[in-house]
A and B are shown apart, each in its own frame.
Chain A
Amino acid sequence: MLDWPPVKTVRAPRPTGRRPVRFNLPDDYDVRLASHEAAAGRPRNELAREWAQERLDLLDFPCLEFRSNSAGRFAVVRGTRLAVWHLAALARTLGWGDDLAQHLNILPEAVASAEGYYQRHRAEVEALIAANEAMGFDEVKHLLCQVRRLSEIPA
């Protein structure tokens, strides 16, 4: 296993007062779900909840999509790999608006989708920003020992 600080968060804490949703899947979908369950090492109710939540978010924020990596799953601007947490971090300097869209060369509608997602999942996004900012030079060097500061490289 990698000796890397644990992921701070991928999802916001579960909201309280949720009602269970029951549904049946056709047999072939059930087999496929079992396959995903095994591959992800997560129970099907957890996967189904994540997929449903993502799908509903995508209906509301159509300029976004979701992407996975070893740190988890996170929302990005469709077709860019620009993560919502990254836009939110930049928005601290540039604001949520045309300046941010111009800076990233994306449509204002994409910024609006990202802002909407941020407002809905503020805890999740802020935690991802905090996790990124906690990875300073020393923390990265702990794992990737070749890393240097540019100023340390002889001119």
Chain B
Amino acid sequence: MAQLGSRAVVLPIQNWHEGMYVAQHGESDLPWLRMAGREGWIIVHDDRNTLLRDYALLAREGCEMPGFAVVGHAHRADVGWIARRLVELERRCAKEKPGNVQVFL
């Protein structure tokens, strides 16, 4: 876990809920997306075709949504670029609810 900027916390997905999310075998992401929404996380990822598809299903349920920040193909291996953009995201979206943060970095 690392502090980022002044307020946000970055939590690697393998540490979320003591690794229970990544330890599941063959299960859907949907229950965990609901939990991320309830807990107010913003998910940073480069998965548009599978995770965002589930995210869209969640939006139709009308429940509390997690936010998401999509990393572009050109920068998916560039940790420094991603970190700088997340600092900028925090600065620009400091007053928004996490679920309303739906951005392409």
Contact = CB atoms under 8 A, between A and B. Distances in A.
Interface of A: 2, 4, 7-8, 65-74, 79-81, 83, 86, 89-90, 93-94, 103, 105, 128, 131-135, 137, 139-140, 143-144, 146-150, 153-155
A81 B77 contact: no
How many interface residues does chain B have, given as a range? 35 or more
Contact of A4 (B12, B53, B85): B53
Given A68-B28, A86-B46, A86-B47, A150 B53 contact: no
B102 A90 contact: no
Contacts of A67: 24-27
A118 B85 CA distance: 31
Given A146-B102, A147-B102, A68 B27 contact: yes
Interface string B65-105: 00001100100110100000100110111000000101111
Given A69-B28, A128-B49, A144-B102, 5 more contacts: A66-B26, A67-B27, A79-B19, A79-B23, A155-B92
A144 B104 CA distance: 12
B102 A71 contact: no
Given A70-B53, A71-B53, A135-B52, A154 B27 contact: no
